[in-house]
Amino acid sequence: MLETVSERPSPEGNKIGRNRLKLPMLAVGATASLAASLLLAGCQNVSGYTPVSLVRIIDASYNAPAINVSVEGTLLAANIGQGSITTYGGFAPSRNAVVKVTATSSLTPLVTSNATLVASKSQSVMITDINAQYQVTVLEDQSTPAPSGHSEFRLLNQAPSTGPVDVYFVAGTSATIYAVAKPVITGLAVGATSGYVMIPSSTLYMVIAPAGTTLSTTGTTIYSSAVLPLIGGEVRTVLIVDPILVSQPVQVYMARDVN
Protein backbone atom coordinates (compact mmCIF):
# COMPACT_ATOMS: atom_id res chain seq x y z
CA MET A 1 0.00 0.00 0.00
CA LEU A 2 2.75 2.39 -0.93
CA GLU A 3 2.87 5.46 -3.15
CA THR A 4 6.05 6.92 -4.50
CA VAL A 5 8.08 8.91 -2.02
CA SER A 6 9.28 12.46 -2.47
CA GLU A 7 12.57 13.40 -0.84
CA ARG A 8 13.89 16.91 -0.29
CA PRO A 9 15.59 18.19 -3.46
CA SER A 10 19.34 17.81 -3.75
CA PRO A 11 21.47 20.90 -4.43
CA GLU A 12 22.02 19.64 -7.97
CA GLY A 13 18.52 20.75 -8.88
CA ASN A 14 15.57 18.90 -10.35
CA LYS A 15 16.07 15.13 -10.34
CA ILE A 16 13.45 12.63 -11.34
CA GLY A 17 14.41 10.37 -8.45
CA ARG A 18 13.16 12.94 -5.91
CA ASN A 19 9.54 12.23 -6.51
CA ARG A 20 8.94 9.96 -3.59
CA LEU A 21 6.78 10.58 -0.56
CA LYS A 22 8.29 10.48 2.93
CA LEU A 23 6.79 7.57 4.83
CA PRO A 24 7.74 7.90 8.52
CA MET A 25 5.27 5.27 9.65
CA LEU A 26 2.33 4.99 7.34
CA ALA A 27 2.03 4.28 3.65
CA VAL A 28 0.45 6.28 0.92
CA GLY A 29 -1.39 5.70 -2.16
CA ALA A 30 -2.10 3.43 -4.99
CA THR A 31 -3.23 0.33 -3.16
CA ALA A 32 -4.70 2.49 -0.42
CA SER A 33 -6.86 4.36 -2.90
CA LEU A 34 -8.01 1.10 -4.49
CA ALA A 35 -8.75 -0.33 -1.08
CA ALA A 36 -10.58 2.87 -0.19
CA SER A 37 -12.77 2.60 -3.28
CA LEU A 38 -13.51 -1.05 -2.59
CA LEU A 39 -14.27 -0.31 1.03
CA LEU A 40 -16.65 2.46 0.10
CA ALA A 41 -18.36 0.28 -2.48
CA GLY A 42 -18.57 -2.61 -0.05
CA CYS A 43 -20.07 -0.45 2.65
CA GLN A 44 -22.79 0.66 0.30
CA ASN A 45 -23.77 -2.85 -0.75
CA VAL A 46 -23.54 -5.00 2.37
CA SER A 47 -26.90 -5.32 4.07
CA GLY A 48 -26.91 -4.10 7.65
CA TYR A 49 -23.47 -2.44 7.40
CA THR A 50 -23.18 1.30 8.00
CA PRO A 51 -21.13 3.22 5.38
CA VAL A 52 -17.85 4.56 6.72
CA SER A 53 -15.88 7.74 6.14
CA LEU A 54 -12.35 7.18 4.85
CA VAL A 55 -9.76 9.55 6.31
CA ARG A 56 -6.04 10.11 5.71
CA ILE A 57 -3.57 12.65 7.08
CA ILE A 58 -1.47 15.16 5.10
CA ASP A 59 1.30 16.78 7.14
CA ALA A 60 2.19 20.12 5.56
CA SER A 61 3.61 21.64 8.75
CA TYR A 62 6.92 23.52 8.98
CA ASN A 63 7.31 24.16 12.70
CA ALA A 64 5.77 21.05 14.19
CA PRO A 65 8.01 18.29 15.51
CA ALA A 66 7.30 14.69 14.58
CA ILE A 67 3.61 14.30 15.31
CA ASN A 68 0.89 11.80 16.10
CA VAL A 69 -2.63 12.36 14.80
CA SER A 70 -5.70 10.71 16.27
CA VAL A 71 -9.27 10.81 15.01
CA GLU A 72 -12.06 10.11 17.49
CA GLY A 73 -9.48 8.73 19.90
CA THR A 74 -7.99 6.30 17.36
CA LEU A 75 -4.35 6.83 16.35
CA LEU A 76 -4.32 7.26 12.57
CA ALA A 77 -0.80 8.62 12.01
CA ALA A 78 2.25 8.06 14.20
CA ASN A 79 5.62 9.85 14.14
CA ILE A 80 5.05 11.64 10.85
CA GLY A 81 6.69 14.79 9.48
CA GLN A 82 6.26 17.33 6.70
CA GLY A 83 5.37 15.71 3.39
CA SER A 84 3.80 12.61 4.89
CA ILE A 85 0.52 11.44 3.37
CA THR A 86 -0.92 8.41 5.10
CA THR A 87 -3.08 5.57 3.95
CA TYR A 88 -6.81 5.83 4.58
CA GLY A 89 -8.49 4.63 7.76
CA GLY A 90 -12.19 3.95 8.16
CA PHE A 91 -14.29 5.87 10.70
CA ALA A 92 -17.94 6.15 11.58
CA PRO A 93 -19.54 9.19 9.96
CA SER A 94 -19.74 12.11 12.37
CA ARG A 95 -20.71 15.76 12.40
CA ASN A 96 -18.28 16.52 15.20
CA ALA A 97 -15.30 14.13 15.06
CA VAL A 98 -12.38 15.14 17.27
CA VAL A 99 -8.99 15.41 15.52
CA LYS A 100 -6.06 15.75 17.90
CA VAL A 101 -2.46 16.50 16.90
CA THR A 102 0.32 15.96 19.43
CA ALA A 103 4.09 15.83 19.32
CA THR A 104 5.29 12.23 19.52
CA SER A 105 7.12 13.14 22.73
CA SER A 106 4.12 14.70 24.47
CA LEU A 107 0.46 14.11 25.23
CA THR A 108 -0.31 17.84 25.17
CA PRO A 109 -2.18 18.68 21.93
CA LEU A 110 -0.56 21.08 19.48
CA VAL A 111 -4.04 21.56 18.05
CA THR A 112 -7.45 19.99 18.52
CA SER A 113 -10.19 20.44 15.97
CA ASN A 114 -13.63 19.12 15.15
CA ALA A 115 -14.32 17.74 11.70
CA THR A 116 -17.32 16.47 9.78
CA LEU A 117 -16.71 12.93 8.50
CA VAL A 118 -19.04 12.19 5.60
CA ALA A 119 -20.36 8.68 4.98
CA SER A 120 -19.06 6.93 1.84
CA LYS A 121 -16.57 9.73 1.14
CA SER A 122 -12.78 9.95 1.17
CA GLN A 123 -11.30 12.91 3.03
CA SER A 124 -7.86 14.32 3.81
CA VAL A 125 -7.11 16.00 7.13
CA MET A 126 -4.32 18.48 6.39
CA ILE A 127 -2.12 19.78 9.21
CA THR A 128 -0.52 23.19 8.58
CA ASP A 129 1.30 25.73 10.70
CA ILE A 130 2.11 28.69 8.47
CA ASN A 131 2.96 31.66 10.73
CA ALA A 132 3.23 29.15 13.60
CA GLN A 133 -0.57 28.86 13.81
CA TYR A 134 -1.47 25.18 13.81
CA GLN A 135 -4.55 24.47 11.75
CA VAL A 136 -6.55 21.43 10.71
CA THR A 137 -8.30 21.55 7.34
CA VAL A 138 -10.53 18.78 6.01
CA LEU A 139 -10.51 18.29 2.24
CA GLU A 140 -12.95 16.08 0.34
CA ASP A 141 -11.00 13.72 -1.91
CA GLN A 142 -12.17 12.32 -5.20
CA SER A 143 -12.89 8.61 -4.90
CA THR A 144 -13.89 7.80 -8.47
CA PRO A 145 -11.49 7.46 -11.43
CA ALA A 146 -11.03 10.23 -13.96
CA PRO A 147 -12.87 9.70 -17.26
CA SER A 148 -11.29 7.38 -19.81
CA GLY A 149 -8.33 9.02 -21.54
CA HIS A 150 -8.02 11.69 -18.87
CA SER A 151 -6.22 12.22 -15.56
CA GLU A 152 -7.01 14.60 -12.71
CA PHE A 153 -4.64 16.47 -10.43
CA ARG A 154 -5.29 18.59 -7.34
CA LEU A 155 -2.54 20.98 -6.19
CA LEU A 156 -2.14 22.19 -2.59
CA ASN A 157 0.18 25.21 -2.31
CA GLN A 158 1.77 25.27 1.14
CA ALA A 159 4.92 27.17 0.10
CA PRO A 160 4.77 30.63 1.76
CA SER A 161 8.31 31.67 0.82
CA THR A 162 7.83 30.70 -2.82
CA GLY A 163 4.46 32.41 -3.05
CA PRO A 164 1.88 31.82 -5.81
CA VAL A 165 2.84 29.22 -8.41
CA ASP A 166 2.05 28.24 -11.98
CA VAL A 167 1.67 24.56 -12.87
CA TYR A 168 2.31 23.01 -16.27
CA PHE A 169 1.90 19.54 -17.75
CA VAL A 170 4.24 19.19 -20.72
CA ALA A 171 5.53 16.47 -23.01
CA GLY A 172 9.16 17.23 -22.21
CA THR A 173 11.50 19.63 -20.45
CA SER A 174 13.53 20.97 -23.36
CA ALA A 175 13.96 24.68 -24.09
CA THR A 176 11.81 24.26 -27.21
CA ILE A 177 8.89 22.81 -25.26
CA TYR A 178 9.27 25.34 -22.45
CA ALA A 179 9.13 28.18 -24.98
CA VAL A 180 5.54 27.34 -25.98
CA ALA A 181 4.27 25.83 -22.74
CA LYS A 182 1.07 27.22 -21.21
CA PRO A 183 0.24 26.70 -17.53
CA VAL A 184 -2.77 24.59 -16.64
CA ILE A 185 -3.01 26.35 -13.27
CA THR A 186 -1.94 29.98 -12.89
CA GLY A 187 -1.23 31.98 -9.76
CA LEU A 188 -2.18 29.30 -7.23
CA ALA A 189 -1.98 31.27 -4.00
CA VAL A 190 -0.30 30.17 -0.79
CA GLY A 191 -2.76 28.16 1.27
CA ALA A 192 -5.00 27.55 -1.75
CA THR A 193 -6.11 24.33 -3.37
CA SER A 194 -6.66 24.15 -7.10
CA GLY A 195 -9.45 21.63 -6.92
CA TYR A 196 -9.16 18.72 -9.33
CA VAL A 197 -7.97 19.74 -12.80
CA MET A 198 -8.54 17.35 -15.71
CA ILE A 199 -5.91 16.87 -18.43
CA PRO A 200 -5.66 14.46 -21.40
CA SER A 201 -3.63 11.41 -20.42
CA SER A 202 -0.24 10.81 -22.01
CA THR A 203 3.41 10.66 -21.01
CA LEU A 204 3.92 14.03 -19.32
CA TYR A 205 6.07 15.98 -16.89
CA MET A 206 4.63 18.24 -14.21
CA VAL A 207 6.48 21.55 -14.04
CA ILE A 208 6.00 24.06 -11.20
CA ALA A 209 7.43 27.58 -11.05
CA PRO A 210 6.80 30.82 -9.18
CA ALA A 211 3.83 32.58 -10.77
CA GLY A 212 4.74 34.60 -13.84
CA THR A 213 8.08 32.82 -14.33
CA THR A 214 9.39 32.38 -17.86
CA LEU A 215 10.30 28.71 -18.07
CA SER A 216 13.98 28.06 -18.69
CA THR A 217 16.09 24.91 -18.65
CA THR A 218 18.63 26.85 -16.57
CA GLY A 219 16.11 28.15 -14.03
CA THR A 220 17.11 26.67 -10.68
CA THR A 221 13.76 27.51 -9.07
CA ILE A 222 11.76 25.57 -11.65
CA TYR A 223 10.61 22.13 -10.52
CA SER A 224 10.21 19.27 -12.98
CA SER A 225 8.75 15.92 -11.96
CA ALA A 226 9.78 12.48 -13.00
CA VAL A 227 8.05 11.31 -16.14
CA LEU A 228 4.35 10.59 -15.51
CA PRO A 229 3.13 7.73 -17.74
CA LEU A 230 -0.57 8.57 -17.49
CA ILE A 231 -2.89 6.04 -19.13
CA GLY A 232 -6.24 7.44 -17.97
CA GLY A 233 -8.31 7.27 -14.82
CA GLU A 234 -5.57 8.53 -12.49
CA VAL A 235 -6.49 10.96 -9.72
CA ARG A 236 -3.65 12.59 -7.78
CA THR A 237 -3.16 15.06 -4.93
CA VAL A 238 0.06 17.10 -5.04
CA LEU A 239 1.43 18.93 -1.99
CA ILE A 240 3.84 21.81 -2.67
CA VAL A 241 6.12 23.11 0.10
CA ASP A 242 9.09 25.48 0.21
CA PRO A 243 12.60 24.23 -0.61
CA ILE A 244 15.40 23.97 1.92
CA LEU A 245 17.41 26.64 0.07
CA VAL A 246 16.05 29.66 -1.78
CA SER A 247 18.00 28.67 -4.89
CA GLN A 248 16.26 25.29 -5.06
CA PRO A 249 12.88 24.44 -6.57
CA VAL A 250 9.86 23.71 -4.45
CA GLN A 251 9.51 20.30 -2.85
CA VAL A 252 6.64 18.20 -4.14
CA TYR A 253 4.83 15.21 -2.62
CA MET A 254 2.35 13.30 -4.74
CA ALA A 255 -0.29 10.83 -3.55
CA ARG A 256 -2.65 8.61 -5.48
CA ASP A 257 -6.27 9.27 -4.69
CA VAL A 258 -7.53 6.75 -7.28
CA ASN A 259 -5.68 4.34 -9.60
Q: Which of 152, 158, 124, 143 is nearest to 236 (CA)?
A: 152
In sequence order, which residues have a C-beta less than 8 Å from that of residue 18 and are 6 or more positions away?
A: 6, 7, 8, 9, 10, 226, 251, 252
**For residue 113, pLDDT beyond 60:** yes
pLDDT tier at 83 (50, 70, 90 boundaries)? very high
Q: Please name the helix (run of DSSP H) or strand (run of DSSP E) that holds residue 221, with its range, or none.
A: none
pLDDT of residue 5: 36
Burial class of 133 by CB neighbour count within 10 A (0 to 12, 13 to 18, 19+): exposed
Half-sphere exposure of 27 (CA within 13 A, CB side): 10
Higher pLDDT, 3 or 78: 78
d(CA 252, CA 208): 9
* 195 compared with 45, residue with greater pLDDT: 195
End-to-end CA distance of the chain: 12
**Mind listing the domains of the chain with CATH numbers?**
30-141 (2.60.40.2890), 145-258 (2.60.40)
Q: CA 173 to CA 208: how far, in whole Å? A: 12
Check: CB of residue 121 under 8 Å from CB of residue 94: no
Rounded Cα gap, residues 19 and 29, in angstroms: 13
Cβ atoms of 85 and 3 within 8 Å: the answer is: yes
- Structure confidence by residue, pLDDT tens digits, 38-66: 444 444 445 556 799 999 999 999 999 99
pLDDT beyond 80 at 30: no
If pLDDT is split at 50, 70 and 90, which confidence band does 17 have?
very low
pLDDT at 33: 43
pLDDT at 246: 86
What CA–CA distance (Å, rounded) separates 46 from 190? Answer: 42
What per-residue confidence (pLDDT) applies to 71?
97
